[in-house]
Amino acid sequence: MIKAIIVEDELPAKRKLKKYISNYHEEIQIVSEFESVEEVIEYFEEYQEIDLVFSDIELRDGNVFEAYKHLNIKAPIIFVTAYNDFWMNAFETSGIEYLLKPYSFERFEKAMGKYVGLKNSFGNEEEKSVLEKLEKYFTNKISTVKTTYQDKIAIKASQYTYFLKIEEVVYFQADHGIVVAIDNKNKRHILSQSSLKLVEEMLNPNIFFKINRSEILNRNYIDKLSRYNKNILAINVINSDVVLKTSQNKTAEFNSWLGV
């Protein structure tokens, strides 16, 4: 028997997943179900004896990676999501498969087949839990993942989706719970990402730097630097009257990053 949990806040999606689980040839016991990041954190801070996790990504109170990156989850995760932007995040955690909604039962079976294959590849010692047998796999897999960064970001308008080139973004800004990108033509683009941290994870750290709590700057658009006060830099960007400022605790690191 496979002991699993479901992390999903949409009822139709949960019903479909549970139907596929019930139709799978091997018994899968659903131990618990969660609908929020907070519930996931509370569960894994206390329990770890689980074989498998089926997890959506965008939940009602935020992105689930906010939980997974702060928890030492050893159980393999099959991500089930409508978003194709987070596959790299998925495989930097304990992710072994990425099911993109809508998905078929055949696709579900393939994901389960990968889980079973990984479990069996570590031997048949009955005394070892699935967690123990897969821990080495995750450690090795994560260490060999080649880091890649997005060159475009999807922007959802009211009636269509378009793609903004990352290289054209002067800076990203979090403003009252909304994350925007300001391009080299001073146009603002509202992003679907729920936090600046999620945006930062998509960016090449050699090009972009988070200069304060609410802004990430592209170094290619820096015009000049000046001293705002003793511990803060003022940054003028090309083709704009906007002046950005470093936070006090970021100034030294920013100077080092720039090599000045």
Give tens-digit pLDDT for 102-122: 899 999 999 999 998 888 765
Are residues 31 and 94 located together in one domain of the fold?
yes
Stretch 131-135: mean pLDDT = 53
Task: Check whether residue 21 and residue 125 sit in a common domain.
Answer: yes
Q: Do residues 222 and 169 make contact, with C-beta atoms less than 8 angstroms apart?
A: no
- Find out whether 210 and 216 touch, Cβ atoms under 8 Å: yes
Mean pLDDT over 13-25 rounds to 95
Residues whose CB falls within 8 Å of the CB of residue 152, separated by 6 or more in sequence, listed in order: 163, 164, 165, 166
Q: How confident is the model at residue 217 (pLDDT cuts 50, 70, 90)?
A: very high
Structural contact between residues 35 and 42, judged by C-beta atoms closer than 8 angstroms: no
Question: What per-residue confidence (pLDDT) applies to 195?
Answer: 85
Pairing of strands 28-34, 2-7: parallel
Give the whole-number percent of the chain exceeding pLDDT 90: 50
Convert the pLDDT of each residue in 160-205 to its tens digit. 899 999 999 999 999 877 999 999 999 999 998 888 888 988 899 9
CA distances 65 to 61, 73, 101, 246, Å, are 12, 12, 18, 27
Query: pTM of this prediction?
Result: 0.51
Of 78, 113, 144, the position where a domain reaches its end is 144
Are 112 and 241 members of one domain? no
Residues 184 and 160 occupy one common structural domain = yes
pLDDT at 137 exceeding the cut of 60 = no
Residues 17 and 122 in one domain: yes
Query: 10 with 138, same domain?
Result: yes
Domain count, the chain: 2
Whether 102 and 186 share a structural domain? no
User: What's the CATH code of the domain at 139?
Assistant: 3.40.50.2300
Of 144, 163, 181, the position where a domain reaches its end is 144
Which residue range(s) make up the domain with 87? Answer: 2-144
Kindly report the average pLDDT of the chain as a whole number: 85
- Examine the domain organization and report whether 135 and 164 are in the same domain: no
Same domain, 161 and 101: no
Judgement on whether residues 15 and 95 belong to the same structural domain of the protein: yes
Rounded mean pLDDT, 135-159:
67
Give the residue from 120, 144, 168 where a domain finishes. Answer: 144
169 and 216 inside one domain: yes
The mean per-residue pLDDT over the stretch 54-83 comes to 86
User: Does one domain contain both 157 and 71?
Assistant: no
